[in-house]
A = this chain, B = another copy of it.
Amino acid sequence: MLTSLGANVSAAYLIAAFTLACPEMPSAPTDAVPKPALELAYAPNGEMLPPTNYREWIYLSSGVDMSYTAKPADMTMFDNVFVNPDAYKSFVRTGTWPDKTMIVLETREARNKGSISQHGHFQGTNLMGLEVHVKDTSRFPGQWAFFDFASPTSNGTLFPPSASCYSCHRAHGAVDTTFVQFYPTLLPVAQSKGTLSPEFVKESGAAQ
């Protein structure tokens, strides 16, 4: 029990699954618990330094086997989304994201029939992927950028502006190119503040 599942999953698959998923991620490193605020940090070559303590940020939501294409997932995985606390506080106040927002998506192994759980799935210790969606208006022409992290301790590689995540988030993001439609405590905030994007309102029929 509680043994590793990740060893059975090829790195190539993970990269493909992660990229196809075109998901969602974090911004300005502020720390909820042990440390004071961090600054968004990049390496000299433009890579992003890893968000080491994002698990202590604000949790937004989880999904299981979500796919934005007609092809279902090949294996069961969870995704968990976190945001830096300063950006969260600003969103609750305004219904949208401030500069230096950093949304982190981690993909994590799903396990079943472990310990006393006989059905369904719970999350295991193997991290399968990590991506960041960051709003840094002075750095990125489109304000937001996506980074992919090969591991939680390696630097993040910028997705080029031609990557499908950008166009997908612009076309379908409920608020400021982010998928607030999947964050159950923030969607009502955006609705009440009137900050849903026209694209999302039209697509979903949501009241604005």
Contact = CB atoms under 8 A, between A and B. Distances in A.
A65 B125 contact: no
B184 A118 contact: no
A179 B115 contact: yes
A116 B34 contact: no
A80 B206 CA distance: 26
Contacts of A64: 64, 78, 110, 120-121
B32 A33 contact: yes
A114 interface: yes
Contact of A184 (B33, B85, B123): B123
Main secondary structure of the interface of A (DSSP, over half): mixed
A1 B123 contact: no
A127 to B, nearest CB: 8
Interface of A: 1-2, 32-34, 55-56, 58-59, 61-73, 78, 80, 82, 85, 88-89, 92, 108, 110, 114-125, 168, 172, 174, 179, 181-182, 184-185, 187-188, 200, 203-206
A81 to B, nearest CB: 10
Nearest to A184: B125
Given A2-B206, A58-B32, A70 B124 contact: no
B115 A203 contact: yes
Contact of A123 (B61, B70, B71, B206): B61
A200 to B, nearest CB: 8
A88 B71 CA distance: 39
A206 B2 CA distance: 8
A182 B71 CA distance: 29
A187 B172 CA distance: 37
